[in-house]
Amino acid sequence: MTLTAPEQTAPPAPAAAEYRAPRVYVKPEVWDREIALLMRDYPFDEVMATRLLHAAVSYLITAMETPQAVSSSSLLLWTAEQTGQVLRAGVGGSGCGSP
């Protein structure tokens, strides 16, 4: 009996997606102010604050373009995860609190 290796096939090509830089959607002075506020209010350096704001703006762009794909609860969970906050049901009005 002879064993042969299965024939290798190339993985399917991903759908072409247009990359949009989140900084295009925010004025430079607003971007810089938000980075400064993140560094002031959270223990982030400039690189981490930039990554967080980049992700947040990207999320909002996606949410505006496809509102059926994003629910308010997923936005709340994403925000809490990104800022390191712990969600606590029934505490205060927002449901978010510091750890």
pLDDT given at position 90? 40
CA distance 38 to 32: 10
Q: What's the pLDDT tens digit per position in 5-47? A: 566 665 555 456 677 788 988 999 999 999 999 999 999 999 9
Lowest mean per-residue pLDDT among 16-25, 52-61, 68-77, 89-98: 89-98
Residues of the chain with pLDDT > 70, as a percent, come to 49
Tell me how far apart the terminal alpha carbons of the chain are, to the nearest angstrom: 63
| DSSP per-residue codes, 49-65 | HHHHHHHHHHHHHHHHH
Which of 38, 42, 73 has its CA nearest to residue 54? 38
CA distance 76 to 28: 26
Task: Say which residues have a Cβ less than 8 Å from residue 78's Cβ, sequence separation at least 6.
Answer: 59
Give the residue with greater pLDDT, 90 vs 56: 56
pTM above 0.85, yes or no: no
